[in-house]
């Protein structure tokens, strides 16, 4: 077993982990602030990928501009989504919110299947075949870019959540809604931003990773269940917990996939989730919001 | 009185993250007694109820109903042994009719198992008929008979409190704990509820009344327990408690108590 | 239990009210029509619809019990359906079990799975519970697809033999034609729904409704929420497992698509539109949603888009479905009575 192979796996694992983290953080943020489990979250990841594909393949965009445009559109979409659908819901009408977002997921997913068919499409940019060679290591440049984008998004998110007023307000609402309301934080504004950020991150993840894997309308569906498992493992509502769990899962999945037959890599996330629920029901890193 | 106590609570202790809500609280209630529990806000009155009825876990202490230990039992098992409670924020099944509300309150108590229930056995049919009859009786007692088939959602606040008391009775309780039965209720309704409580007690049911309305408690209860900061500071007849300087201090603060004492003396 | 608030103007004929007679005649008539269908027509398309309706009526009915009565939003139904399907198929093809025994075993295994899932996740929050049941269903699909030595993987087990039932009086019934399967599924669905109805209208159903409406109050009255929730989950798992075992022999193949999310989405829509907690409402909406989409010849994807839109609109405007809307009207009527009196 050579070090290059291992390092390669590790880097790939990190890339996957970062992407998982982007999606899971968005999901966790939305849950923490609105107490809504967004079933449609994966569809925005899918839409991000499909949009990026079309921008590159049909409109001649480059990779970076495509990602930027898609992310901005996703943020706006999140804003619209909140105002149109989610704003009126509250935490107690829990089943309503699940079923509403499930309905949204059905519309987006099946609509995409109807419009684009289930044939996977490969996005090819000039970058697609470029690799970086560092000694024993050969890494695809696209994956590195995705990793970089993800880390940049983390950094930006950190700044927003910890250094801006509204970000702190968001964390406050996620930790203790009633207390936050009492000190005069406007839940509507905070929630709207949380949804916009969450959807934006999802779209970014999809666009960033579009050149790496095939793009097809059902990709979000497979993804979102893992995101659920991740936020349970990290602790419902615990944003940093979700990020850590996501990174760990990405790395573990890739390492296991590299050495053992691929049989049940997918089941790893759910197995871990069940284990965590049996042993530590509030998640590995404890609660952001009461579970 | 040397009658064996109906309810005995020993050393009940409950802590929340460094705050001691109940500090080794001990008291007892004889069969057929009407005991009031009063105390300033946050003194632990409701925590006490939650613990002994199984809705919150206690950190230490034991409690017994009729000699049977209830410590650590889940809420539904405690209810089945005859210790029944009402809730501060009045609870009812809004989508069910008043009569259904009452029948539900009895169904786990009359000892008819699932198979008999599913098979609609004769025992079940008798049990349901008996429950319905008793339900109508109780609705008449509290003055809600005309709404027997109405959904509970339409009741006014005071009427919901009456329904809750009736529901407590359905469960053939030995002891009923009423958590703030007259909070937020108009004076006419208060008198009505007091009347109902006296009728219940006349049938031999023991009652614990947790209340802020001190006059209400003093007029109904033969014995009053005062709790402050999780500890029992008085346990005597209403007249004695009213004059107790520690009680006055708990409610009015040191200066206010001295003033009140001066006014009396 | 009262019906969902519909009162026919109380016309009485010889001691039997119109409403009361209708409540018995309509379902009895519908059952008769369904059972007699193969005698009335040879249209195989109708038999296919009949099988579909029967199967979904059991799936949606079980979900109605779990969600509408006990208040648990569970996505695990399809998992039990598929487990029953695979178990029955494997027992018949690999162990040469007789058909009914294999189906029964499939139901039993599904029930055990349901109780395990329930027991381990009911103490979690409602959010976590929903996610866990969802993950369970997905995990079933992954296992079916990847554990090839057990389930033959993505190819599944094709060529399931036509079941043969040994009836009393020395007769045997070979179930091969669509009409035969229509009979089989309809008889099963009638029995299953009767059982569901029996539970719903009994004290057990009342306890479940109490738990859903106000769990704390129910506990203070001696009702054990865990026991009733497990009852609902276990029963729905049993019925879904039996349905799965029967259904795959109609398909003559069992493969991972038996765990498809499509089943979950469809049964959810049926329950939501009919009104969670309304036995007849769900049955009617199941019938409508089985027949109408086929009539409209929508492509499956567009049908799902439509369902999604319906779900969104219903959740935004009247989350209680038709049953809930009727109930609210009943409440409003009584409120005006009470206000008039005070």
Range list of H helices, C18-125: 18-40, 44-63, 77-95, 99-121
Neighbours of C297 (CB within 10 A): 8
Domain ranges of chain C: 17-300
Residue A243 lies inside a defined structural domain of this protein: no
Find the domain containing B182 and state its range.
7-90+174-264
Residue A275 lies inside a defined structural domain of this protein: no
Strands B206-210 and B175-179: parallel
Chain B from 106 to 145: CB within 8 A of any C CB: 107-109, 112, 114, 117-118, 120, 124, 128
Residue A199 lies inside a defined structural domain of this protein: yes
Residues of chain C with Cβ-Cβ distance to B131 below 8 Å are none
Measuring CA to CA, which residue among A104, A74, A55 is closest to residue A210? Answer: A55
Q: What is the pLDDT at residue A154? A: 86
Residue B23 lies inside a defined structural domain of this protein: yes
Please, which residues have CB within 8 angstroms of residue C158's CB and are 6 or more apart in sequence? C252, C253, C255
Q: B84 with B98, same domain?
A: no
Q: How far is A130 from chain C (nearest CA, A)?
A: 33
Q: What is the pLDDT at residue C132? A: 86
Q: How far is B50 from chain C (nearest CA, A)?
A: 10
Residue C160 structure tokens: 């399931």
Q: How many domains does chain A have?
A: 1
Q: What is the pLDDT at residue A289? A: 44
- Reduced to 3 states (helix: H, G, I; strand: E, B; else coil), residue B205 is coil
Residue B161 lies inside a defined structural domain of this protein: no
Read off the pLDDT band of C61 (50, 70, 90).
very high
State the helix-helix crossing angle for B187-202 and B122-142, rounded to 10 degrees.
130
Q: What is the pLDDT at residue A257? A: 79
pLDDT at C165 over 90: no
Find the domain containing A126 and state its range.
3-224
Best of C65, C68, C196, C203 to mutate (most B CBs within 10 Å, chain B): C203
pLDDT in tens, B229-249: 888 888 988 888 888 888 888
- Reduced to 3 states (helix: H, G, I; strand: E, B; else coil), residue B16 is strand
pLDDT at C6 over 70: no
Q: B11 with B61, same domain?
A: yes
CB A123 within 8 A of CB A207: no
pLDDT at B209 over 90: yes
Q: What is the pLDDT at residue C296? A: 67
Read off the pLDDT band of A270 (50, 70, 90).
confident
Please work out, in degrees rounded to the nearest 5, the angle formed at the alpha carbon of residue C253 by the alpha carbons of C250 and C256. 120
Q: Do A267 and C299 touch (CB under 8 A)?
A: no
Distance CA A71, CA A198 (A): 11
Residue C313 structure tokens: 């609109």
Q: How far is B169 from chain C (nearest CA, A)?
A: 10
Residues of chain B with Cβ-Cβ distance to C335 below 8 Å are 153-154
pLDDT in tens, B164-206: 999 999 988 999 999 999 888 889 989 999 998 998 888 889 9
Q: B207 with B144, same domain?
A: no
Q: B135 with B31, same domain?
A: no
The answer to whether B and C touch (≥3 CB pairs < 8 Å) is yes
Q: B84 with B97, same domain?
A: no
Q: B84 with B69, same domain?
A: yes
Best of A95, A97, A235, A242 to mutate (most C CBs within 10 Å, chain C): A95
Average pLDDT on C7-34 reads 68
The answer to whether A and B touch (≥3 CB pairs < 8 Å) is no
Q: Do C331 and B147 touch (CB under 8 A)?
A: no
For chain C, give the percent of residues with pLDDT over 70: 90
Residue B2 lies inside a defined structural domain of this protein: no
Q: What is the pTM of this model?
A: 0.87
Residues of chain C with Cβ-Cβ distance to B116 below 8 Å are none
Q: How far is B91 from chain C (nearest CA, A)?
A: 6
Q: What is the pLDDT at residue A86? A: 73
Last residue of a domain, one of B154, B185, B201: B154
Q: What is the pLDDT at residue A136? A: 65
pLDDT at C240 over 90: yes
Instruction: Select from A97, A98, A103 the Cβ nearest to the Cβ of C308.
Output: A103
Residue C87 structure tokens: 């178990």
Q: B49 with B102, same domain?
A: no
For residue B191, the domain's CATH number is: 3.40.50.300
For chain C, give the percent of residues with pLDDT over 90: 42
Residue C230 structure tokens: 């497990």
ipTM computed for the complex? 0.90
pLDDT at C2 over 50: no
Residue B165 lies inside a defined structural domain of this protein: no
pLDDT at A182 over 90: no
Q: What is the pLDDT at residue B1? A: 46
Residues of chain A with Cβ-Cβ distance to C127 below 8 Å are 31, 35, 37, 94, 236, 291
CB A139 within 8 A of CB A9: no
Residues of chain C with Cβ-Cβ distance to B118 below 8 Å are 198-199, 202, 204
Distance CA A145, CA A126 (A): 13
Strands, E, within A161-223: which ranges? none
Q: Do C312 and A85 touch (CB under 8 A)?
A: yes
Q: What is the pLDDT at residue C17? A: 67
Q: How many domains does chain B have?
A: 2
- List the chains bordering chain C where 3 or more Cβ pairs fall under 8 Å: A, B
Range from A95-104, B106-115, C14-23, C114-123 carrying the lowest mean pLDDT: C14-23
CB A10 within 8 A of CB A251: yes
Residue written as token pair 């709790």: B227
Strands B68-69 and B83-85: unpaired
Measuring CA to CA, which residue among C110, C66, C62 is closest to residue C86? Answer: C110
Q: How far is C309 from chain A (nearest CA, A)?
A: 6
pLDDT in tens, A145-161: 888 888 888 888 888 88
pLDDT in tens, B249-259: 877 665 555 66
Which residues are registered as beta bridge partners of A134? A137
Distance CA A290, CA A207 (A): 33
Q: What is the pLDDT at residue B252? A: 67
């Amino acid at each position: 077993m050579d070090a290059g192979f291992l390092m390669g796996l590790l880097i790939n694992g990190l890339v996957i982990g970062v992407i998982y983290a982007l999606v899971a953080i968005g999901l966790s943020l939305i849950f923490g602030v609105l107490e809504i489990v967004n079933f449609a979250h994966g569809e925005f990841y899918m839409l991000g990928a499909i949009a990026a594909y079309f921008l590159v393949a049909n409109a001649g965009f480059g990779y970076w501009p495509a990602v930027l445009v898609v992310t901005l559109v996703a943020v706006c979409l999140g804003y619209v989504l909140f105002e149109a659908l989610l704003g009126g819901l509250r935490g107690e009408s829990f089943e309503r919110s699940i079923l509403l977002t499930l309905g949204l997921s059905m519309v987006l997913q099946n609509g995409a299947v109807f419009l684009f068919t289930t044939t996977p499409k490969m996005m090819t940019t000039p970058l697609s075949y470029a690799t970086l060679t560092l000694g024993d290591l050969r890494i695809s440049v696209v994956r590195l870019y995705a990793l970089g984008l993800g880390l940049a998004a983390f950094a930006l998110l950190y700044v927003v959540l910890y250094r801006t007023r509204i970000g702190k307000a968001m964390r406050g609402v996620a930790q203790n809604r009633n207390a936050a309301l009492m000190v005069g934080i406007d839940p509507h504004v905070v929630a709207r931003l949380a949804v916009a950020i969450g959807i934006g991150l999802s779209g970014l993840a999809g666009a960033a990773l579009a050149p790496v894997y095939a793009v097809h309308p059902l990709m979000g569906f497979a993804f979102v269940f893992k995101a659920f498992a991740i936020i349970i493992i990290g602790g419902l509502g615990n944003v940093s917990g979700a990020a850590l769990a996501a990174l760990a899962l990405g790395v573990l999945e890739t390492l296991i996939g590299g050495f053992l037959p691929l049989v049940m890599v997918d089941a790893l996330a759910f197995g871990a989730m069940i284990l965590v629920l049996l042993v530590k029901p509030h998640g590995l890193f404890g609660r952001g919001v009461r579970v | 009185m040397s009658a064996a106590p109906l309810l005995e609570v020993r050393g009940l202790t409950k802590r929340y993250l460094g705050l001691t809500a109940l500090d080794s609280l001990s008291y007892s209630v004889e069969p057929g007694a009407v005991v009031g529990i009063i105390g300033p806000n946050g003194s632990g009155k409701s925590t006490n109820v939650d613990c002994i009825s199984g809705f919150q876990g206690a950190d230490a202490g034991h409690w017994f109903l009729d000699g049977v230990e209830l410590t650590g039992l889940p809420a539904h098992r405690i209810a089945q042994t005859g210790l029944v409670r009402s809730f501060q924020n009045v609870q009812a099944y809004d989508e069910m009719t008043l009569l259904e509300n009452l029948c539900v309150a009895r169904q786990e108590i009359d000892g008819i198992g699932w198979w008999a229930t599913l098979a609609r056995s004769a025992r079940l049919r008798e049990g349901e008929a008996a429950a319905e009859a008793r339900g109508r009786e109780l609705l008449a007692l509290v003055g809600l008979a005309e709404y027997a088939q109405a959904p509970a959602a339409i009741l006014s606040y005071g009427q919901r409190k009456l329904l809750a008391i009736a529901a407590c009775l359905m469960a053939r309780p030995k002891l009923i704990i009423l958590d703030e039965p007259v909070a937020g209720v108009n004076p006419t309704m208060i008198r009505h509820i007091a009347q109902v409580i006296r009728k219940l007690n006349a049938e031999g049911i023991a009652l614990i009344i947790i209340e802020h309305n001190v006059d209400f408690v003093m007029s109904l209860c033969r014995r009053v327990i005062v709790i402050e900061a999780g500890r029992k500071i008085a346990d005597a007849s209403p007249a004695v408690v009213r004059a107790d300087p520690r009680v006055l201090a708990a409610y009015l603060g040191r200066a206010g108590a001295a003033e009140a004492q001066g006014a009396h003396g | 239990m009262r019906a969902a608030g519909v009162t026919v103007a109380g016309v009485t004929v010889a001691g039997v009210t119109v409403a009361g007679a209708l409540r018995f005649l309509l379902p009895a008539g519908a059952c008769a029509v369904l059972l007699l269908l193969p005698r009335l027509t040879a249209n195989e398309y109708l038999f296919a619809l009949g099988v579909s309706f029967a199967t979904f009526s059991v799936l949606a009915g079980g979900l109605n019990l779990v969600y509408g009565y006990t208040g648990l939003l569970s996505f695990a139904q399809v998992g039990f359906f598929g487990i029953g399907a695979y178990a029955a198929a494997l027992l018949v093809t690999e162990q040469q079990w007789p058909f009914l025994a294999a189906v029964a075993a499939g139901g039993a295994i599904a029930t055990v799975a349901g109780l395990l899932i329930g027991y381990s996740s009911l103490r979690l929050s409602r959010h976590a519970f929903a996610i866990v049941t969802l993950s369970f269903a997905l995990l079933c699909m992954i296992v079916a697809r990847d554990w090839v030595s057990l389930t033959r993987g993505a190819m599944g087990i094709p060529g399931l033999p036509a079941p043969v039932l040994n009836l009393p009086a020395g007769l045997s019934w070979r179930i091969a034609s669509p009409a035969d399967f229509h009979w089989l599924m309809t008889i099963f669905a009638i029995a299953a729904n009767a059982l569901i109805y029996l539970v719903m209208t009994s004290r057990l159903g009342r306890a479940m409704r109490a738990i859903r409406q106000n769990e704390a109050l129910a506990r203070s009255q001696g009702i054990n929420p865990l026991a009733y929730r497990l009852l609902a989950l276990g029963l729905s798992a049993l019925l879904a497992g039996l349905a799965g075992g029967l259904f795959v022999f109609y398909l003559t193949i069992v493969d991972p698509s038996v765990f498809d999310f499509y089943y979950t989405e469809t049964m959810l829509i049926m329950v939501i539109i009919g009104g969670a907690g309304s036995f007849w409402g769900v049955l009617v909406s199941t019938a409508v949603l089985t027949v109408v989409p086929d009539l409209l010849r929508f492509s499956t994807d567009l049908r799902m888009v439509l369902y999604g839109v319906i779900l969104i609109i219903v959740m935004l405007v009247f989350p209680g479905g038709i049953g809930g809307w009727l109930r609210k009207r009943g409440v409003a009527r009584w409120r005006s009575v009470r206000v008039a009196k005070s």
